[in-house]
Amino acid sequence: MTNRIKFTKMHGAGNDYIYVNTLKYTIEDPESFAKKWSCYRTGIGSDGLVLIGSSSVADFSMRIFNADGSEAMMCGNASRCIGKYVFEEGLTKKTVLTLETLSGIKELFLSVQDGIVTEVTVDMGNPKLEEVTLADGSKDILVYQAISAGNYTFKGTAVSMGNPHLVIFVDAVEEIDLAKIGPLFEYHPYFPQRVNVEFAQIISKKEVRMRVWERGSGITSACGTGACATAVAAVINQKTDREVKIVMDGGPLTIKWDSATQKVFMTGDAVKVYEGELSL
């Protein structure tokens, strides 16, 4: 008899994943299934696979696998979707949840109307400036410094939100050939574990237009941790206020870098697209 499992397709700001409740179903080879199911022509189509599980240190746990099968440490958009999933599926009645991830425990704050989660705020923790590995093997931080790959040179800022990001401010983000330039910087020697690459255009002190090349997934409609890293880099480089709207291809997120706690809070939607069954 063929093993069948139920899945839910969800997205946050267009960042779409396949969600499986491993409290009910066992996925023994998530790396392979992430690659197979994420393919748009022969599978479901997504940016990756998210496994919702139990935790001994939080209310729930999250494991996330990119479309290429590699495991990611954290995804802010997926975190919001998990908050919506566990509440609306009756797995919890809490509107303040903790979620165990590979980059630590995150706190989720659910906005609920008539039993439906309309918005989720995630405490993304404290950012830090990412150390890069220079050509001579030494380590240093990168803040608005020249970085080159291929025939391209930009000024970049490296920020960690529990996963690595390279934020590059440009005058016209729509003119960036993301498919060509993104992978060049993803595999830059400064980042032995590869890096997520954000190109950002300052619209005002309160708004930034951003596009992203995600490590392991390529061009995506949105990246929650990338939006947070972009907001942090914008503040560090004195380009925006500490609360800013980050507008991505899939929609906006509100990011606040709290001056008192130094924590970053991300607020945005979480949308259930459809449910289905898969054969293992």
Q: Which two tokens stand for residue 80?
A: 């919001």
* Beta strands, E only, 127-214: 128-129, 131-133, 139-141, 145-149, 152-160, 164-169, 196-204, 207-214
For residue 214, the Cα-to-chain-centroid distance in whole angstroms is 8
User: Which residue among the candidates 39, 81, 223, 228 is catalytic per the annotation?
Assistant: 223
Residue with tokens 């330039």: 181
Contact (CB, 8 A) for 108 and 117: no
Q: Beta partners for 274?
A: 9
Nearest to 122 by CA among 244, 254, 9, 21: 254
For residue 171, the Cα-to-chain-centroid distance in whole angstroms is 24
| Residue 223 is a catalytic residue | yes
| Count of CA atoms in the C-beta half-sphere (13 A) of 74 | 27
| Residue 75 is a catalytic residue | yes
Q: Give SS3 for 109.
A: strand
What are the start-end ranges of the H helices in 47-96? 76-88
User: Which residue among the candidates 39, 75, 81, 228 is catalytic per the annotation?
Assistant: 75
Residues recognised as catalytic: 75, 223
